[in-house]
Chains A and B, each alone.
Chain A
Amino acid sequence: MREPGYRFARRLAVPLRGLAHRFVYPLLVLGAFALMILGKADLILIERMRATMADALAPILSFMSEPAARVADVIEHGRELVRLREENVQLRQENERLRQWQVVANRLEQENAQLRDLARLTAEPPSSMVSARVVADAGGIFVHSVLIGAGAKAGVGKGNAVMTSEGLAGRVATLGDRSARVLLLTDLNSRIPVMIESTRERAMLAGDNSHQPRLLYLPSTAHPSAGERIVTSGDGGSFPPGLPVGVITDIGTLRVQPFVDFNRLEFIRVIDFKIEGPVVQTEVPRGRDRR
């Protein structure tokens, strides 16, 4: 048997709960709009909330992404087995070609060193590198970004270049202690200063949530051809010049096909080139600076 006090409280609680129910829903809807407005105002508080949440859940996502990657690997292995012989022949030919390139590269490296010495060129600043696993991928309906399982504690910095072995993937947009968000170069808000590798003509690579970002502000005198390589220009100071980005696929609309396959991002490298640029200077003091 329950005592009368409990019953009284229960009798009181029912209408109270009804009242609360009536107001909770509209309040929460207002709360959602408030979050959007606060987020738009770029409050540091909102950024922190997001980073804290990502930090807290990144280990779970990381734990889950390992078997997920295993599943993807198994599928990939099956596919590879089918065309093993064909691929072997291809690789042997490629190996042959690359060997020749290696000889050329060695020679050029020596020549480069000698010329640098002659011209007394200052050495490029040293860069540090952090490898990390992609733990969450939003899928790109509204934003093209991924969450990685390394943050300020591992030495990742805001604005750092994010690369795969194929080329530039994006840059670090928000930073937590144990996680970081990478804005991919296909995102609507991604702007990366680039140039055409052969002619050194500058442009801005602007994402628009499609698979192929566009070149903006290319000088009208420039007449690029399809298949030309696009590399970072180093303007603006957040990236060094010469990082491979992609190739021009459409001369009319100036679309660029990135080298990185964004469907298969598994491990990425965050590279801090130690260049003081506008992006680095606006860094919110946290993580590394606190220590």
Chain B
Amino acid sequence: MTPTAAERMDDWGRRLAPFATVLVLLFFGLVPFGVPGLPLIAPAGTQIAVFYWAVYRPDLMPPLAAFGLGFIQDALAGTPLGIASLAFLILHGIAVNQRKTFIGKPFLLVWLGLAVGALLAAFASWALASALLGGVIPLERPLFQALATIALFPCFCWVLVRIHRGVVH
């Protein structure tokens, strides 16, 4: 039986949900709330979401999507283009390469995977941003952001699991 138009739309909606979650988190990271310190935590959500979908639904978060989301992030945030793309690709690469290690294993192991990815991404972004912007940028802030990402991983996961079960299947 061929699916009806409505079913097909529904299917597309579900397929786009992982990309959309990252995009929404990305926008939330950029919208000025006027709360000091908030932007430090908010971009971390995007990295978590990319990592999560790359582990559990890599078919719906291909590397091209990670690259594109990074491009949008850089274009809107004013950072040198390519930096966020590379950061997302680092997390994506770790997630996809170690998928077999992560799936069905204790949550702590996935957490460790993200921690390695987030720290690697932070160092790479920091080194490249320093080189491209022409000056040594203090390491504390990207490092702090990476630590915030690691610390908040369970909270973001809790939400993502619900989206995963409820919307994406």
Contacts and interface: CB of A to CB of B under 8 A. Distances in A.
Interface of A: 24-25, 28-29, 31-36, 38-40, 46, 49-50, 53-54, 57, 60-61, 64-65, 68-69, 71-72, 75-76, 134-143, 145-147, 173-174, 181, 188-189, 208-210, 263-266
B79 A138 contact: yes
Given A64-B27, A266-B32, 5 more contacts: A40-B132, A50-B81, A137-B31, A208-B135, A263-B36
Contact of A209 (B62, B64, B132, B138): B138
17 contacts: A25-B96, A32-B70, A32-B85, A32-B86, A57-B76, A61-B27, A68-B34, A72-B35, A75-B35, A139-B40, A139-B77, A140-B39, A142-B129, A143-B78, A173-B78, A188-B134, A264-B34
B89 A145 contact: no
B84 to A, nearest CB: 9
B147 interface: no
Nearest to A53: B75
Contact of B80 (A29, A39, A71, A140): A39
A173 B66 CA distance: 27
A277 B42 CA distance: 39
B16 interface: no
Nearest to A207: B135
A28 B134 contact: no
Chain B interface size range:
35 or more
A229 B40 CA distance: 31
B82 A34 contact: yes
Given A188-B134, A264-B34, A36 B42 contact: no
B76 A61 contact: yes
Given A141-B142, A142-B79, A189 B34 contact: no
Contacts, number: 158
B29 A139 contact: yes
Which residue, of B36, B38, B77, B137, has the highest number of chain A Cβ atoms within 10 A? B77
Tell me if B's interface is mostly helix, strand, loop or mixed. Answer: helix
B43 interface: yes
Contacts of B75: 49-50, 53-54, 57
Which residue, of A134, A135, A136, has the highest number of chain B Cβ atoms within 10 A? A136
B162 interface: no
Contacts of A209: 135, 137-138
Interface string B118-139: 0000000110110011110110
B71 interface: yes
Contacts of A33: 82, 86
Contacts of B33: 68, 71-72
B135 A69 contact: no
Contact of B89 (A28, A36, A65): A28
A31 B32 contact: no
Interface string B52-66: 000000000011101
A35 B85 contact: yes
A31 B39 CA distance: 27
A129 B75 CA distance: 26
Contact of B82 (A25, A36, A188): A36
Contact of A137 (B30, B81, B82, B89): B30
B30 to A, nearest CB: 4
